[in-house]
Structures are given as structure tokens and as C-alpha cells.
């Protein structure tokens, strides 16, 4: 099966940097992705890692280490609008289309 | 118009009623998904489909059924709704080029 673990809550200060970790267990591995969800909204895609290393998209970066079954999302220059829930999601190689989500990390930004 | 459209957006029903949530997409994607979201539990996969002939169970398929009527349409049914199926339901399509799920706006279901 597949399972993911991520912290339930993180608090950070506006303008700072925050890292949200995600560890996963899967019978195979296809990719790790990250989604953002604001209260009352739908999840929106942030990034995807299929290979080891860092992917950068503006203020957001995502890292993957397949050997450690670990990834993280890095948010820089935090803004109040970044207050949201963040989900990691994994798709397993044995069933590449079965995409399973973690329970989410609620990020709160303080002025 | 939204690329992934869910109807209804809100529904209140009673225990034992049959409910259908509909999803349609204009993205031309083959893969479609239904997820359920409860507070603190993230998104849990109910069913997913590769195409009209290929439907697969997810993590929590008991009590649910689906129908893939066409590439663009994927419906979720609750044959006999029960209160613990009260949740926010999301439909999504998958873009293989980017590894991205595109979500609809969600259908909030309340079972009394």
C-alpha cells in the first residue's frame, strides 16, 4: 500500500522561509507532488518530483530523495496569502495512476 | 468556464437516499479521480478511472460506485447515503505531461 506522513501544523513569520517535510511508504514509486489548498477552495498543484533533486518554481521549491523516501516543500519570502494547507501526494509505480495524499500541513503565517 | 465542473456544489439529503455527484471535464484527459475530504484527514481516494472501460477502487470505495459515461464524464453514486458520508467531494483529472491533478470546485454533501 501507500502512506504518507507530514506535520499537521506549522507556523512561520512573514518574510521567512519554511520547510514542510513528507515521508512516504509505497510498494513502488512514480512521483511526489505538492498541492496547496486555501480554506473553502480546491487543491491546486504546486510542483512535481519524479527524480531526485530540487525543483524550483518561483518562491516555491520541492525536493525529493527516493532512497530516503522523503521529500519537502520549501516556501521562501513568506507572504500572508501563503497561509493555507499543503498536501504531499505520491503515485506508486505498480499502479502509477493511484495518487494518494497525505493528511496535510496547515501553515499559519504571522505578521 | 471551469475545466473540471462538479454538480451539485451543495446537497443536503437524508439517510437512505440515492445520491449522484457528477463531474465533467474539458481538458481532454483520460484519467479521472474522485476524492473525499474530511477535516484533518486530507484527501482520500474513492475511485479512479483510466478510460471508460477501466475503473479502479481507491482507498475507501465501500458504499460508493462510479460510472465513466464518456472520456469527459465521471459520476460518483452513493446508493444508500449514511451520515458518515457527509464530506466534501472532489473530482479531478490528471495531466500526464506535468503530473498534475486538476480539481473541480468540490461538492459538499450533507447526509442527515
SS (H, E, C) A49-78: ECCCEEEEECCEEEEEECCCCEEEEEECCC
Measured between alpha carbons, how far is B68 from B89 in angstroms, rounded to an integer? Answer: 17
Is B39 in the A-facing interface, judged by CB distances under 8 Å? no
How does residue B81 score in pLDDT terms, banded at 50, 70 and 90? very high
Interchain pair A95, B90: CB under 8 A: no
pLDDT of residue A3: 86
Q: Which among B64, B95, B43 has a CA at the least distance from the CA of A43?
A: B43
Chain B, nearest residue to A50 by Cα = B99
Cβ atoms of A60 and A17 closer than 8 Å: no
Q: What is the pLDDT of residues A69-80, one digit of tens each?
A: 999 999 999 999
**Residue B108 pLDDT > 60, yes or no?**
yes
Eight-class DSSP state of B40:
T
Residues of chain A neighbouring B5 (CB-CB closer than 8 A): none
* Exposure string over B48-59, b if 16+ CB within 10 A, otherwise e: bbeeeeebeebb
Chain B, nearest residue to A102 by Cα = B42
Q: Could you tell me which residues of chain A have a Cβ less than 8 Å from any Cβ in chain B?
A: 8, 31, 33, 35, 41-45, 48, 50, 87, 89, 91, 95, 97-104
**Residue A1 pLDDT > 80, yes or no?**
no
Cβ atoms of A75 and A46 closer than 8 Å: no
Q: What is the pLDDT of residues A16-60, one digit of tens each?
A: 999 999 999 887 777 899 999 999 999 999 999 989 999 999 999
Q: Which among A14, A16, A11, A19 has a CA at the least distance from the CA of A81?
A: A14
B65 CB-near residues (< 8 Å, 6+ apart): B76, B77, B79
- Rounded (5°) CA angle A28-A63-A93: 15
Measured between alpha carbons, how far is B40 from B29 in angstroms, rounded to an integer? Answer: 30
Residues of chain B neighbouring A57 (CB-CB closer than 8 A): none
Residues of chain B neighbouring A95 (CB-CB closer than 8 A): 56
Residues of chain A neighbouring B106 (CB-CB closer than 8 A): 42
Chain B, nearest residue to A2 by Cα = B59
Amino acid at each position: 500500500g501507500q502512506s504518507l506522513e507530514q506535520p499537521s501544523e506549522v507556523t512561520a513569520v512573514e518574510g521567512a522561509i519554511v520547510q514542510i517535510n513528507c515521508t512516504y511508504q509505497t510498494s513502488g514509486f512514480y512521483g511526489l507532488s505538492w498541492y496547496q489548498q486555501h480554506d473553502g477552495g480546491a487543491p491546486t498543484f504546486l510542483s512535481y518530483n519524479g527524480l531526485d533533486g530540487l525543483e524550483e518554481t518561483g518562491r516555491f521549491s520541492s525536493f525529493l530523495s527516493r532512497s530516503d523516501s522523503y521529500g519537502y516543500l520549501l516556501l521562501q519570502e513568506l507572504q500572508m496569502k501563503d497561509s493555507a494547507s499543503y498536501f504531499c501526494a505520491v503515485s506508486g509505480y505498480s499502479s502509477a495512476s493511484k495518487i494518494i495524499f497525505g493528511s496535510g500541513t496547515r501553515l499559519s503565517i504571522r505578521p | 468556464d471551469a475545466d473540471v465542473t462538479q454538480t451539485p456544489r451543495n446537497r443536503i439529503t437524508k439517510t437512505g437516499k440515492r445520491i449522484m455527484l457528477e463531474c465533467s471535464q474539458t481538458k481532454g484527459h483520460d484519467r479521472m479521480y474522485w476524492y473525499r475530504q474530511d477535516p484533518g484527514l486530507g484527501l482520500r481516494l474513492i475511485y479512479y478511472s483510466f478510460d471508460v472501460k477501466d475503473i479502479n477502487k481507491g482507498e475507501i470505495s465501500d458504499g460508493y460506485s462510479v460510472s465513466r459515461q464518456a472520456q469527459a464524464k465521471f459520476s460518483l453514486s452513493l446508493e444508500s447515503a449514511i451520515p458518515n458520508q457527509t464530506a466534501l467531494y472532489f473530482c479531478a483529472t490528471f495531466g500526464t505531461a506535468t503530473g498534475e491533478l486538476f480539481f473541480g470546485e468540490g461538492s459538499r454533501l450533507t447526509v442527515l
